[in-house]
A = this chain, B = another copy of it.
Amino acid sequence: MIQPKPPSRTAPSSVAATTIVSSLLSVQTSGAGFTDLTAEIAQFVREAGAREGAVTLFIRHTSASLTIQENADPTVLHDLMTALNRAAPENAGWRHDTEGPDDMPAHIKTMFTATSLQVPVLRGALALGTWQAIYLIEHRTRPHHREIVLQFIGATA
């Protein structure tokens, strides 16, 4: 917890923010797993003419969620799913079981990950790091139709 050199920061750059752009993204999942939404969000940023600001993602479900994770090695996604299954195993004495053994674990996995996310937009592009991708995580065993509200707030071209 020692910090060897002080943090540095670029000078704040400022623009007038005047626009909100909203869109509803519909995704058909194929059961438990990750769907990479990055290209769709980047396309939304382009169509919106977004220049400086932030994109909010909001998933309208309680058994699917959002995360930003590594996009390079697919075994990362496999291991993330393993970690979620360990944190919320099926048949672990849950009371809520009327919708199948995968439903309550799906709610728990949603609670431990994200329902809303924000990604800044700088000079017209998502400010993601080199290895970051934006994923929807389907927590139910069977395929589902999922809706995500996309909203850009900021300055447009």
Contacts and interface: CB of A to CB of B under 8 A. Distances in A.
The number of chain A residues touching the other chain, given as a range, is 35 or more
B108 A94 contact: no
A12 B111 contact: no
Copies of the protein in its oligomer: 3
A142 interface: no
Contacts of A44: 9, 12
Contacts of A88: 83
A98 B31 CA distance: 28
Contact of A3 (B18, B29, B128): B29
Contacts of A124: none
Contacts of A156: 14
Interface in A25-83: 25-30, 33-35, 37, 40, 43-44, 47-48, 52-54, 56, 58, 60-62, 67-70, 73-80, 82-83
A27 to B, nearest CB: 5
Contacts of A128: 60
Interface of A: 1-5, 7-30, 33-35, 37, 40, 43-44, 47-48, 52-54, 56, 58, 60-62, 67-70, 73-80, 82-83, 87-88, 93-96, 98, 104, 107-108, 110-120, 122, 127-129, 131-132, 143, 147, 149-156
Given A16-B18, A116-B117, 6 more contacts: A9-B24, A12-B48, A14-B20, A15-B20, A53-B151, A58-B118
